[in-house]
Structure 1
Amino acid sequence: MFDRFFLSFWQYNNKNASLQGDVDRLLEEGLDENVESFLSQDDMDPRDTLGRCMDASKGFGFAEVAKARASASKVVCCHFSSDGKLLATGGHDKKVLLWCTDPLKPKSSLEEHSFLITDVRFSPSMSRLATSSFDKTVRVWDADNTDYSLRTFTGHSASVMSLDFHPNKEDIICSCDSDGEVRSWSINNGSCLTCVKVFKGGATQMRFQPRKGKYLAAASEKAIYILDGETQHACRSPLQGHTKDIQSVCWDSAGDYLASVSEDAVRIWSFTSGQDGEFVNELNCSGNKFQTCVFHPAHPSLLVIGCYESLELWDIREKNAMTLNNAHDGLIAALAASSATGKVASVSHDRLVKLWK
């Protein structure tokens, strides 16, 4: 399948690729090791050329279709609304921007957090989104009226690193922190439903299994913990195999496959019938450290991987990969995909947001 998509591959010098250097360094007194680790992820060597992959004869391509300056600081998270009409981005400037996606333009901003934003997620069924921050809070917002948050959840004793909405229960949201604690919250009641100490180390990212909601995958250090979607208790032994800390996890849209990303490898795990957590495939880093990934919204077996300045396109079935160089001028910190529009979004430490299709 991959060869059918990418029969032609050409490169050219990108004369206009030089953007303002990534000179912002967030300096705060009293940062703990987790904060410092979160901030210092872009010490890699840049690439020099831009590779553009496409097969015009098959009508398939993967190219930049829009870009904009998203912040005066590093951007580290993004997510599409379920209809693909909105995109949320957030990062070191302590606020989240909402964007209209067609065309790409700012719509509104969410500005109640007191420290950098770590994650942003839209509800799969309602006009809501939620944000997490190093300020130890989770906030829920109305996407149509972002002047103030609907709920502010406090209780985490450490920086909240990630969060997600339950795919089938619109009232429920889960969050995890840098001390290994997972909490679930009722949006309607404004209360904490469960509080479970799951990890020995701090959590990096968590994502509910789409559609089914049976599992909640949470990365901590070199393992992925598979939690019960209802109780948040571990329901099987952790998924092991990474030799370096896992940066991010993502599910395919059907909830059948889970991808996990460390700087030197991407691993695929199957959650199809009778294979709950079975290892399927691995892509090893060939020189440019991995950071994040997302399944392509139109081609389910194609994984888009964010690196430093480049994107890797990996067909997980055919086991072929190709590089799109100079996609950004800094670390690509997060990716998002919209099945409604077929677009992929990328955000980077270069302060830009880009759309691809």
Structure 2
Amino acid sequence: MVELIHTLADHNDDVNCCAFSSSLLATCALDKTIRLYFLSDFTEVPYSPLKFHTYAVHCCCFSPSGHILASCSTDGTTVLWDTQNGQILAVMEQPSGSPVRVCRFSPDSTCLVSGASDGTVVLWNAQSYKLHRCASVKDGSLVACAFFPPGNLFVTGSSCGDLTVWDDKMRCLHSEKAHDLGITCCDFSSQPVPGGERGLQFFQLASCGQDCQIKIWVISFIHILGFELKYKSTLTGHCAPVLACAFSHDGQMLVSGSVDKSVIVYDTNTENILHTLTQHTRYVTTCAFAPNILLLATGSMDKTVNIWQFDTETLCQAKIPDQPKQFTENWSEDDVSNWLCAEGLEDLVDIFKMNNIDGRELLNLTKESLADDLKIESLGLRSKVLRKIEELRTKVKTLSSEIPDEFICPITRELMKDPIIASEYEHFKKNINRCQTRPNNRREKTYKLIL
């Protein structure tokens, strides 16, 4: 499904960021360096590492063409590098001299945004290397930035939790508290949401933060009609602060990395977990998808960058049950097995099948039953299973609260798959012989009780 194919261990300190072009992978770290690798064989390019910064390098990103690499540092500078030879094209100093935490190119490569610890955000002309416009947020450090795919606005995230939307003239269009305790990263899907209203294009934005959550937003912006941002949903797969998130190039997957040392890959259509990767030994600080191939890079405070490859034939098979089987109590034993695989618990599939664990039984499992009945000896494994089951229970409660009461059977309190309202019952009885499906006795008794 997804395979670890290479580990890069050249940095001497925490890896802070990684980024792909069509042919290169860039990584940067607390060791003040940026390293570049060929995607063909993951060997380091001859002019790597790139050295200029005098303090930690927090972020790096390629221009859309891949010809320029930008890096920013605690030293208060954003540096542009020629990816053909590693030469410095420009050194752009933050006006305030504050440490620069994030940098991003616009989709057309004409502009570069840099955000600093003092809350200042600078829009640079990427051709002349000169400051174009400057602004600032009210509170907190700027630690996240993403450009709207059409290119006419960008979003910044701050350490105080604010998500701020700017247009291309650096006017603040919107600001709101998105995450308690602070935002850590944000990213736009490059693909529009299907079925946009009124002919508009809507794009998904993911933001993550210290509150252990990933939030999905839907954004549209047309100069004539104005700006619109809507909260869509929250992903709660991690049990610790989420430090990084990124969409795949086709918009079908979202990846996140966390203080819990795990990497989670989500299906963006269903928001189900496709894969949970746990090979890093310390906090996962960065993650990025390659633009043209199914490669994923994840970086960590363990000083390594892992390269993962997806199997296109089995990618879709990892999805856990979709609607209407999102109601966990209706899962079959096979659905439970698929869920275990998607959560990285494939070693437990045989045990669960041997004990005929379906969705209803899964939700009823306890610490004691895992140890005594299923004989799972590992304390850590039992704890992980219980955390995942608790997440399912929370989702079940959320789904149940969202179902209108008229769709719930008043007797069994279960979701009715083929409900008949009381006013239709007499007509149903008169024509029962002509119906293709004859109601069973239990259902008819239920109708009499309702009437």
- 1:144 and 2:91 aligned: no
Q: Work out the CA distance in 2 between the residues paired with 1:199 and 1:175.
A: 16
> Percent of pairs identical after alignment?
24
Q: Work out the CA distance in 1 between the residues paired with 2:78 and 2:88.
A: 10
Please tell me whether the aligned partners of residues 70 and 89 of structure 1 are also in contact (alpha carbons under 8 angstroms). Answer: no
**Residues 311-320 or 216-225, more deviating:** 311-320
Q: Work out the CA distance in 2 between the residues paired with 1:143 and 1:235.
A: 35
Q: Work out the CA distance in 1 between the residues paired with 2:31 and 2:292.
A: 29
Partner of 1:279: 231
Report the Cα offset of residue 190 of structure 1.
3.0
Q: 2:214 aligns with which of 260, 263, 266?
A: 266
Call closer, same or farther: CA 1:286–1:206 in 2, change over 3 Å. Answer: closer
Report the Cα offset of residue 328 of structure 1.
1.0
Q: 1:341 aligns with which of 293, 301, 304?
A: 293
Q: Work out the CA distance in 1 between the residues paired with 2:301 and 2:89.
A: 29
Q: Work out the CA distance in 2 between the residues paired with 1:192 and 1:103.
A: 38
Letter in 1 for 2:27: T
Give the CA RMSD over aligned residues.
Answer: 1.9
Q: Work out the CA distance in 2 between the residues paired with 1:176 and 1:258.
A: 18
Q: Work out the CA distance in 2 between the residues paired with 1:166 and 1:325.
A: 31
Q: Work out the CA distance in 1 between the residues paired with 2:128 and 2:252.
A: 40
Report the Cα offset of residue 126 of structure 1.
4.8
Report the Cα offset of residue 311 of structure 1.
1.2
Letter in 1 for 2:208: V
Report the Cα offset of residue 222 of structure 1.
1.1
Letter in 1 for 2:290: S
CA-to-aligned-CA distance 1:83-123 (integer Å, 9 cap, x gap): 2x101100101010011112111112210000000110100
**Residues 136-145 or 273-282, more deviating:** 273-282
Please tell me whether the aligned partners of residues 159 and 177 of structure 1 are also in contact (alpha carbons under 8 angstroms). Answer: yes
Report the Cα offset of residue 174 of structure 1.
1.3
Partner of 2:242: 290
Structure ID, larger Rg: 2
Q: 1:196 aligns with which of 135, 153, 157?
A: 135
CA-to-aligned-CA distance 1:134-176 (integer Å, 9 cap, x gap): 0000110100111x311001123211111111111x2321111
CA-to-aligned-CA distance 1:236-278 (integer Å, 9 cap, x gap): 2x24342231111011122611100013110000125788321
Partner of 1:350: 302
- 1:127 and 2:75 aligned: no
User: Any idea what SS the aligned residue of 2:31 has?
Assistant: coil
CA-to-aligned-CA distance 1:297-319 (integer Å, 9 cap, x gap): 45x24221112321112234323
User: Any idea what SS the aligned residue of 2:191 has?
Assistant: coil
Letter in 2 for 1:277: L
Question: Greater relative contact order (Cα 8 A, min sep 6): structure 1 or 2?
Answer: 1
Letter in 1 for 2:244: T
Call closer, same or farther: CA 1:311–1:157 in 2, change over 3 Å. Answer: same
**TM-score of the two chains, using structure 1 as the length reference:** 0.76
User: Any idea what SS the aligned residue of 1:253 has?
Assistant: strand
Report the Cα offset of residue 348 of structure 1.
0.8
Matches within 5 A, 1:216-227: 216-220=154-158, 221-227=160-166
Please tell me whether the aligned partners of residues 297 and 344 of structure 1 are also in contact (alpha carbons under 8 angstroms). Answer: no
Please tell me whether the aligned partners of residues 330 and 348 of structure 1 are also in contact (alpha carbons under 8 angstroms). Answer: yes
Partner of 1:68: 8
- 1:176 and 2:115 aligned: yes
Please tell me whether the aligned partners of residues 20 and 291 of structure 2 are also in contact (alpha carbons under 8 angstroms). Answer: no
CA-to-aligned-CA distance 1:167-212 (integer Å, 9 cap, x gap): 11x23211110111111122332321111123322111112123x1
Q: 2:186 aligns with which of 249, 257, 260?
A: 249
Q: Work out the CA distance in 2 between the residues paired with 1:268 and 1:76.
A: 23
Report the Cα offset of residue 321 of structure 1.
2.6
Q: 2:254 aligns with which of 303, 315, 335?
A: 303
Q: Work out the CA distance in 1 between the residues paired with 2:146 and 2:264.
A: 22
Matches within 5 A, 1:23-172: 61-81=1-21, 83=22, 85-107=23-45, 108-146=48-86, 148-154=87-93, 155-168=95-108, 170-172=109-111
Which protein is richer in helix relative to its size?
2
Give ranges in structure 2 of 5+ residues lacking alignment.
193-202, 310-451
Report the Cα offset of residue 325 of structure 1.
4.2
**TM-score of the two chains, using structure 2 as the length reference:** 0.61
Q: Work out the CA distance in 2 between the residues paired with 1:176 and 1:266.
A: 21
Report the Cα offset of residue 231 of structure 1.
1.6
Call closer, same or farther: CA 1:341–1:322 in 2, change over 3 Å. Answer: closer
Q: Work out the CA distance in 2 between the residues paired with 1:268 and 1:320.
A: 13
Q: Work out the CA distance in 2 between the residues paired with 1:144 and 1:224.
A: 35
Please tell me whether the aligned partners of residues 257 and 272 of structure 1 are also in contact (alpha carbons under 8 angstroms). Answer: no
Call closer, same or farther: CA 1:285–1:326 in 2, change over 3 Å. Answer: closer
User: Hey, which bits of structure 1, 4+ residues long, moved more than 4 A?
Assistant: 272-275
Q: Work out the CA distance in 2 between the residues paired with 1:354 and 1:340.
A: 18
Partner of 1:206: 145
Please tell me whether the aligned partners of residues 297 and 342 of structure 1 are also in contact (alpha carbons under 8 angstroms). Answer: no
- 1:185 and 2:124 aligned: yes
Letter in 2 for 1:162: V
Letter in 2 for 1:262: G
Q: Work out the CA distance in 1 between the residues paired with 2:117 and 2:253.
A: 31
